[in-house]
Structure 1
Amino acid sequence: MACPSGTFAYTIRAGDTFYLIARAHGVSLDALIAANPGVNPDRLQIGQVICIPTSPGPGPQPGACPTLRLGSQGASVRQLQTLLRNNGFDPGPIDGIFGNRTHAAVIAFQRSRGLVQDGIVGVLTWTALGVNCGTTPTPPPQTCPPGTRSYEVRAGDTFYTLAIRFNTTVAAIQRANPNVNPNDLRIGQRICIP
């Protein structure tokens, strides 16, 4: 699928919704829907290709948080490189050029914060770096009972894979999360892990 000028192609992954994609890439939900007139947002398929606008479009503008990716240049990239270095991730020279080293540093930072590791700096990555993007803050993570810890669901997570990763059982995870549907986990959702 070829995306029109002013947009770029994105492949749907497990757990994606238009809302989460718009938030992750710093565009409004309306702009994302408008860029994909033939796509039903309620029937996204893994592997489906959609178009994401490169500018925020109508709605709240996260002016301090432009979407940056490999090849981006300018003052915003310098700010990104400085923030990465301040957080212990080496972006290479602070030169305002989003090259391979900056891309690798972004992915390492995203991995360390449990974000989608796509190397694209959107609102979620800016926010994790400590920038106020002028968007509604996400609700605080749920408080987990004693003997458990909070965990943010990532792409591909299931109660089964989490039980293996954290050396526990599916039943124990279900007991710690009585209001969570294990068949409807969402990327970014907070659950408790025993």
Structure 2
Amino acid sequence: MNDYSYPICPGGNFHVVKAGDTFYKLSKMYNISVDAIIKANPEINPNMLMAGQIVCIPIAPKKECPNDAIPYMIKKDDTLYLIAKKNNIPLSVLIKSNPNINPNNLTIGEILCIPKYWATHKSQLYKVSFKYPWEWEKVEEDYYEGPSGYFVVSAINSNLPLNEICKEEAYQDLKPYGSSPTITELKVDDQNACLIMPSK
């Protein structure tokens, strides 16, 4: 058995040659050109690959993501399932946003686009549902927060008209909703209600 040393590969991305491997086969497997593999491995004879040999796989060119997505570089041991779980988005949404990625053959250093996904919150207690940014995390029941803000669903016992209650809550001294919150009146199960959205 040959004992091949591990070369220093860009991004630490390499492939251990198996019987039947060729640079052409690797180019298809990793979605890069044969020339790119040859340039990244000047010491290797493309026509004499041997099982156990280490081939550097050059990192693909940086992928541009649309404005409604965030770039993510694939790391060792990553899977699409783990990436989706880490970013709190459905696996199906992640796959749909990256049609050129092979879910069963991720490449270290490859760039994925993580869509800015809107999740849906449903309050069983207050019988309301609405969208919120996917990266926000649950702090407690009906209270979520994230890097761009937070929301809390609550009820207030008061004899004041609903619009006055909403204004009083939105513009309280501590300014938990910022200096210019948005108040939207709506109906929930035929009952008047309001939604307070924090300002930036």
Say which structure is richer in helix: 1
* TM-score after normalising by structure 2: 0.35
Q: Which has more radius of gyration?
A: 2
Say which structure is richer in strand: 2
* TM-score after normalising by structure 1: 0.36
